[in-house]
Each structure stands twice: as C-alpha cells, then as structure tokens.
Amino acid sequence: MEEKEIVTKGKPEALYETFFRKDGKDKSTTHYCPGCGHGRVHKLIAESLNELGVADRAVFVSPVGCSVFAYYYMNMGNVQAAHGRAPAVGTGVARARPDSIVISYQGDGDLAAIGTAEILHAANRGENMTVIFINNAIYGMTGGQMAPTTMIGQKTLTSPRGRSSDNEGFPIRMCEIISTLEAPVYVERTSCTDVKNILKTKRAIKKAFKLQTERKGFSFIEILCACPTGWKKTPRDSIKWIQETLEPYFKPGVYKDASETAQPKPRIEPSTDPEQIFTALNLQKGKSPRATGRNIGEKRIKLAGFGGQGALTAGVAIATAGMHDGFDVSWLPSYGPEMRGGTANCSVIISDKRIGMPVVLNPNILVALNGPSLDSFEDDVTPGGLVIVNSSLIERKLKRADVKSVYVPLTEIATNLGLKAAANMVALGVVLGCEKLFDKERLHEVFKTSLKRKDTLEMNIKAVNAGFEFVQKH
Amino acid sequence: MKRELIKGNEAVIKGAVLAGCTHYFGYPITPASEIAQAASYYLPLFGGTFIQAESEVAAINMVYGASSAGVRTMTASSGPGMSLKQEGISYLAGSELPAVIVDIMRAGPGLGNIWPEQSDYHQVVKGGGHGNYKTIVLAPNSAQEMCDLTILAFDLSDKYRCTAVVLTDGYTGQMMEPVEFPEELKKAPYKEWALYADQKHRKNLVTSIFMSPQTLFEVNTRLNQRYKTIENNEVLFEDLHASDAKLVIVAYGIMSRVAHNAIEELRASGLKVGLMRPKTLWPFPVKKLKELCTSAQAFLVAEMSNGQMLEDVKLAIEHSRPIEFFGTWGGTVPSVDELKSAIKTTYEKTTR
Ligand SMILES: Cc1ncc(C[n+]2csc(CCOP(=O)(O)OP(=O)(O)O)c2C)c(N)n1
Ligand code: SF4
C-alpha cells in the first residue's frame, strides 16, 4: 500500500484513465493477475514518458505474452508484434519515424527464446529504442510452461519434474549477453520487489528513454517480475522467491553504461525532391528513339568465354547500342554459381519486333572467346549462322560446314593494342563488320557514357575499330 | 525518361523509389539478391533506409513496423525466404498494413536450386500463412513490368491496406531489357491510422489480435468485402491472338515469353492459337477466361511447376472445356520448340 504512495500519486497521463479498448464490462482494472509484475512496469513507463514530456512521440510495441494487451493501458501509439519479433517491428518504426520513442516490451519467452535473433541484432545495430524485458522465469500467457529463464529444478507445466540442465540447459542471462555487444548504450537488470527496487527500476527506464531522446541508441532494461499464477505462489511468496532464488542467479546491476561516451546517431530523413531522386537513380530525362524502320529480323547472339574475358560485358555493350538504335533488345546472363565454373556466357537478342523468350538456345551469331565455349555451343548454332572464333586461343576449326565461320586472333589484336582484356570488344567490332546491325559509332557512344576512365574508353573504341577493320580486310 | 538497359531486379528498386518507397529491409538470396544490392546502393543516396536484416523473418517484421509508421516500405526474396515470411504476411493482413514484397522464384522444394521455377504460386497466391487473407499478386514478364508493376503494387497496397506481391521467376529478375522509367515521383499517401509518433496520431493502434469472436468475425467480414472489391476492380491480363483462338495457352512470367514465340510461329503456320497471360494472379482473370470459352475449344496451361495455376484455370472455366497441362520443373525452362510441339499435339487432340 505505502509503496504506491511513494512511487506515484494517481495515474500518469500516459496510462489511459479508462481502459476503453479492453474487452468486457470492466474498464477500470487491468487484465493482469494480482501480484503480477506487468502492471507495475507499465506504470513506471508511463510516468517516465510523462516526466520527460515525450509521451506524444512514444510508440509501444507489445509482444505476444500476457502483455499482448498492453495497448489497453498505454496511452500512446501502439503496435502489436508477432511472437518474438518486437525488436524487428521496433526497428521498422524507429527507422521510419526518427523522432519516435520506441519501446519494445517483451517477456522471457518472447525475447529469450523465439525472438533471440531479433533482440541480438537490434541490439547489435544499436537501434534507437528501449527494450523492456520482463523476466518472470515462466510462460505466463500460455498457462505456465518452461521459459529459457526458468530456474534449475523449477517445476512448470513442461518441466513437471523440475528443469534439468541435462535436458534443457541453464537459465539464460540476457543482460550479460547483450552487454558484450559494442553498440548498446545502456544495459541494466533490476527487480520489482520492494519500494527501493521499484524506484531503481524507474530510474533505469527513465534513463533509457532520456538516452533515446538524445539519439544515443539501444538500451536494455531487464526486470525480474513476479508471476504468482504461473509460479503457483501467493504474491507475497512470489516476492520472496524473486529475492531468494532469482536475484542470486540473475544479479541486478548495471551491466553496461556508455551514456557519457556514446555519440548521438545522425537523424536521417528521406528527401522528397524529385530532382535529387532522379539524380540519385541516374535517370536521364527525355525520350529514346523506338523502332528504326530497318528490318534486321531477330539477331540471337551467344557470347561465351572464361570468366574475366568479358563475354557478359560485351553482351551488355552491344545490347545497349542496339537499344539506342531503337531496337528491342534483351540480355540474359548465366547466373549464380555457374559463373564461377570457368565459363561465362550470355544471351543477347537484338530484334526489330517484340522479343519473346530471352534465352538464346540456337544462336544465329556465336562469339566463342575460348575453346570450351566453342565446344559447348557449336552444335547449337542455326544453319547459316555466324561463328566468330578467337583463333588466339582456339586452335581447331569448326566441325560444321553449314555455318559461316570467321577466325580472328582476338586476344592477339587486343594485346597489340595494349589492352589484352579488350578482346571481347574486338569481337564486337567483328560482329558489326559481318552483320548489318548498326554503325559501330553506336558502340562508341555506349562506352562514352559507361566508361569512366579516358584511357580505357579510347582503348575500347580502338578495339572495336580493329575488329571491324579486320573483317573489311579479310 | 530515356530508355535504360537494366536488370529486372534493379528496375524493381528504381521503380520502388519512384513510387515513394523509402525503407527497404531484406536478406540476400539468389536470384533476388540484386534487389537488395540495388536498394543498399540507391536508398541511402537520398536519405532512404536500407537494412540487411538478420533473417527474412526479421525483414518482414521490419516492414511491418515501418508500414505501421506510415512509410512506403518493401522487401524481396525467393522461395526459402518467402516460406519464412509467411507468418509476417499473415500479421500484415490481420493488421491491415500495406506492404510490397517481391518474390523472384527459384526451384524447390527445400534448398532446391537457384534456377527459375514457378512453384511459389500456391504459397503466394493462395496464402502460405494462417488465416483468411489474400494478397494481391502481380506477375511481370519483362524488366519494364518489373518497374511498372512494382509501382502499381505500392499504389494498390495503400489503396486496399493489404500486401501486394510482385511474383516472377529468376529469368525475369536476371535479364536486362530496356526500361522507360516514369517522370513522376510519387510519395506515400497520408494515412490517418498510422503511427506518426506525434500528438495527433497518439491514439492509433495497429494490431491483429481481436479476442472477441464477434469482433474478429467483423474484421474478417470487412477484409472479405475488400477482397471482393479487389476481385471486381483490379484484374489485369494481356492477350495475344486469344479472342479467336481455338486453343488458348495460359501462361505467366517467363513462360508467357516462351509462349509468345511459340504462338507467333504457330499462327504463321495457320494454327488458331492464342495466349492469355494473367498479369494479376490474384485477382485471377476469371471473367476473361470464361469469355474466351465462346471461341476456345480447349485450354493449355503452361507453367514451370507441377500445375499450380492449372487449378485456378480449371476453376475459372468450371471445367467447361478440356484443359491440358504442360509443365516443367527443377529449374528447367522449356525451349520454344518444346512448347510448340506440346501446343500442336494438344491442338490436334482437342480442336476441330
Ligand atoms: C509463433 C507462436 N508460437 C507460440 C505462441 C504461443 N504463445 C503465446 S504467449 C507465449 C509465451 C509467452 O511467454 P513470455 O514471453 O514469457 O511472456 P509472459 O506471458 O510470461 O508475460 C507463447 C509460447 C504464439 N502466439 N506464437
Ligand atoms: S499469468 Fe503471470 S505474467 Fe500473466 S498476468 Fe498472470 S501473473 Fe502476470
């Protein structure tokens, strides 16, 4: 009775006067059992927010557990999260509303069992939020099953002979774990037993909120609370059990306090300026030419080589040039682990009509930069198609007589130009020399917008020209 | 904007940003990773947020949190990650929160492989989570649509306060095609129910728990009415020579691109075949399929799955025409020739 007097006089404004959202007729008492720790902590939270004057900015994330209905009582923004996910939900809120005071309120099942990943990583990111962790060593809401914080020997509905370390391991100490992380700013464990400890708890909660208003990041307050119903004890015996059994194992105290040294996190808000966003996205205003009026049919190109030879890059370049010329184009890589296997290839289609299937199974142009590529794709080329063979690396001739073949020492030409890696671009010059697709200057333009370094730009242009001229001469 | 050669996966993010998406939460998975990569690159350039979450479970719950706070937010994944997101999707539905999810389907079950399949259809279209809910499902088949349908997904999810999934396959995500991005920048509409963390919105509550059966009955009823409205208003499809076709192929995503070639070639040789491509898988183009029955003597459903959309086609036309199935799986994609011969066989068997 006297405790109540000291801690607060009347209800703080951040607790609803009447619990209008509560089911049933009784809108003035909470749904918590007599002697339950939840209600008391709710009040401490509300008081702290009011004293700091930030209740308007508060968003309370309620967990799955007995406090799932905390929003009956908390007069502030409320969001209810899936079991264990409150820190992730809180992360979303905190990032979306940089000025919010986010409270992730969780029980021990919620936080230390099903939500272990979420709590650790929210802490590790140093999210600007406060976690209030109600450790009552049991699953209250589901009727009293074992929690990760249940004591050795403690009997629950799912540890009927008492928790055994052999079978269930040991009660998990979250403050100790969280305090090993770099990012959290404040980590404290308190207990909600007597007046002194309740005041300590309030100081801890208030300090955490204060740190949040200063954008100093993540605070973790673990509170040892009674669950008389789950423990099958009277409220009075429950307090005694906290003091005699829980406190010696879950030692109250400050586990980390970096409040003096922590730097405020920057306050980030997205721009709504279209120009800034168009620039960020690298979008070019204006219209592109469509449909050239020229009939080239559908050029299905396969470019292949070993990883590093630039078959994929060359594919992108020629497709981009085709697009700028007004054609429909597509480019599809061999993706994922296949790219690591030593050969890389891509399908490019340049067409005067809408493209269907983007995979080129039967190319009418094959560029083989190395031997394995020729071996893999020679049989697939359509009769009458064109095969460009890098004769610097491929010694054999084609097996097939029903396709056109061009043997070009691509690597040698590129090396002589001073850039061995440009053999792929020499190959593109050869393609444009053999097939009437578009002017090679189209490719030059592509390089101009995509290549940052002037020397590589010039080298690539020279490489294309060399390939083109090779065809003219031979 | 000028046309840009861009991967479908990257077009998703540029489209999303133009739709006003400011918050991305994701976890890498092939073949969807480029979406997270693009988000991590572009969003911070203008003060947006990218977080690589600890799991898909965390990612979808971050989306839940950001959405409850009123911003436009999204995540993307592929099969195994989508499985993990199902709980979150159910909560999003229960709390009536808008959200956009992109699923770049790979092959399953289990870890399967990273090659394209269309086997998340049931999970996504029918709902893999618990409860009576629906998600809008948009099915792009080009890089341009990866942009356009992502933007539409944001608009629809806000309009109806529900999740919109952009569902496509590894090829559509991985291929580069020209995309013309819109010149308009949208922004998240004002949401009176959202948690703006200020005095005006202090009384707001986002929740999916309704203890009284009567209340939950009403919530479900309201959701169902909304789903009916979506079914009536938001169906999208594209057809190619379908109106006078004797045999109608039904296909979406990359399969519709294979079908496109097959049908053009078969039409040229005189076969009356056409394509009906649902662009929304839910709501499903039921009415259109029924209408096609006036000329269509049979249907062929082509899918990279064991026949998941097939069930919806059967229901749509109420078995009033013979329906054949052409399926492949495991990450194999049929060639145009394979599909052509399946179409020919079906044509000969089912049409007069
Ligand atoms: C995914 C999922 N699994 C299980 C449950 C059932 N469940 C509800 S509350 C709860 C345990 C809550 O215990 P705790 O977090 O300790 O909170 P308390 O009730 O003791 O305050 C469980 C297992 C659920 N709601 N969701
Ligand atoms: S079961 Fe335990 S935790 Fe739940 S309300 Fe009762 S005393 Fe509190």
What local confidence, expressed as pLDDT, does residue A288 receive?
87
Per-residue pLDDT tens digits for B278-333: 999 999 999 999 999 999 999 999 999 999 999 999 999 999 999 999 999 999 99
What local confidence, expressed as pLDDT, does residue A451 receive?
85
Q: Tell me which ligand sits closest to the C-alpha of residue A137.
A: 1
Note whether B38 contacts A: Cβ–Cβ < 8 A. Answer: no
Cα(A399)–Cα(B265) distance, rounded to whole angstroms?
30
Answer yes or no: is pLDDT of A141 > 90: yes
Task: Check which CATH number belongs to the domain holding B8 and give it.
Answer: 3.40.50.970
What local confidence, expressed as pLDDT, does residue A2 receive?
38
User: Do B65 and A118 lie within an 8 Å CB cutoff?
Assistant: no
Residue B347: closest CA among B263, B282, B225: B263
A343/A355: higher pLDDT: A355
| Domain co-membership, B315 together with B224 | no
The shortest CB-CB distance from A319 to any of B5, B48, B58 is to B5
What local confidence, expressed as pLDDT, does residue A1 receive?
37
| Domain co-membership, B199 together with B131 | yes
Residues 6+ apart with CB under 8 A from B26: B35, B36, B39, B50, B51, B52, B53, B59, B75, B76, B77
| Domain co-membership, B214 together with B332 | no
The rounded mean pLDDT for chain B is 97
Percentage, residues of chain B above pLDDT 90: 100
Residues of B within 8 A of A274 (CB-CB) are 185
Answer yes or no: is pLDDT of A7 > 70: no
The rounded mean pLDDT for chain A is 94
The shortest CB-CB distance from A330 to any of B66, B175, B195 is to B175
Residue with CA closest to ligand 2 atom 2:
A227
Q: What is the CATH number of domain A38-257?
A: 3.40.50.970
What local confidence, expressed as pLDDT, does residue A342 receive?
58
Contact in structure between B99 and B163 (CB atoms under 8 Å) = yes
| Domain co-membership, B66 together with B159 | yes
Domain finish residue from B233, B262, B296? B233
The alpha-helical segments, DSSP class H, found in chain B are: 8-18, 33-42, 56-68, 79-94, 121, 143-160, 170-174, 213-233, 254-268, 286-292, 308-316, 336-350
DSSP letter string, A97-160? -TT-EEEEEEEHHIIIIITHHHHHHHHHHT-SEEEEEEE-SSBTTTTSB--TTPPBT--BTTBT
What local confidence, expressed as pLDDT, does residue A9 receive?
65
Buried b (16+ CB within 10 A) or exposed e, B63-77: bbbbbbbbbbbbbbb
What confidence tier does A158 reach under pLDDT thresholds 50, 70, 90? very high
- What superfamily does domain A298-473 belong to in CATH? Pyruvate-ferredoxin oxidoreductase, PFOR, domain III (3.40.920.10)
- CA–centroid distance, A136 to ligand 2, in Å, is 9
| Domain co-membership, B177 together with B91 | yes
Per-residue pLDDT tens digits for A227-242: 999 999 999 999 999 9
Q: Which domain holds residue B222?
A: 4-233
Number of domains in chain B: 2
| Domain co-membership, B251 together with B181 | no
| Domain co-membership, B206 together with B79 | yes
Q: Ligand 2: which atom is nearest the Cα of residue A231? A: 2
Q: Provide mean pLDDT across the span B99-121.
A: 97
Note whether A328 contacts B: Cβ–Cβ < 8 A. Answer: yes
Answer yes or no: is pLDDT of A8 > 90: no
Per-residue pLDDT tens digits for B31-69: 999 999 999 999 999 999 999 999 999 999 999 999 999
The shortest CB-CB distance from A274 to any of B55, B87, B185 is to B185
| Domain co-membership, B118 together with B267 | no
| Domain co-membership, B45 together with B193 | yes
| Domain co-membership, B133 together with B171 | yes
* Ligand 2 pocket member A230 (CB < 6 A): yes
| Domain co-membership, B94 together with B116 | yes
- Phi/psi region, residue A177 (left: phi>0; alpha: psi -120 to 50; beta: rest), is alpha
* Residues with C-beta less than 6 Å from any ligand 1 atom: A 64-67, 83, 107-110, 134, 136, 138-142, 147, 227
Considering the entire predicted model, what is its pTM? 0.96
What local confidence, expressed as pLDDT, does residue A6 receive?
46
Residue B343: closest CA among B273, B261, B268: B273
| Domain co-membership, B42 together with B96 | yes
What local confidence, expressed as pLDDT, does residue A449 receive?
87
Q: Hey, which of A141, A156, A224, A231 would you mutate to test ligand 2's pocket, going by the most ligand atoms within 8 Å of its Cβ?
A: A141
Cα(A126)–Cα(A260) distance, rounded to whole angstroms?
16
What confidence tier does A134 reach under pLDDT thresholds 50, 70, 90? very high
Percentage, residues of chain A above pLDDT 70: 96
What confidence tier does A335 reach under pLDDT thresholds 50, 70, 90? low
What local confidence, expressed as pLDDT, does residue A455 receive?
87
Residues of B within 8 A of A359 (CB-CB) are 171, 333, 335
What confidence tier does A77 reach under pLDDT thresholds 50, 70, 90? very high
What local confidence, expressed as pLDDT, does residue A454 receive?
87
Domain finish residue from B233, B259, B281? B233
Domain finish residue from B186, B216, B233? B233
What is the complex's ipTM, to 2 decimals?
Answer: 0.97
What confidence tier does A10 reach under pLDDT thresholds 50, 70, 90? confident
- Where are chain A's structural domains? 38-257, 298-473
Per-residue pLDDT tens digits for A370-418: 999 999 999 999 999 999 999 999 999 999 999 999 999 999 999 999 9
What local confidence, expressed as pLDDT, does residue A137 receive?
98
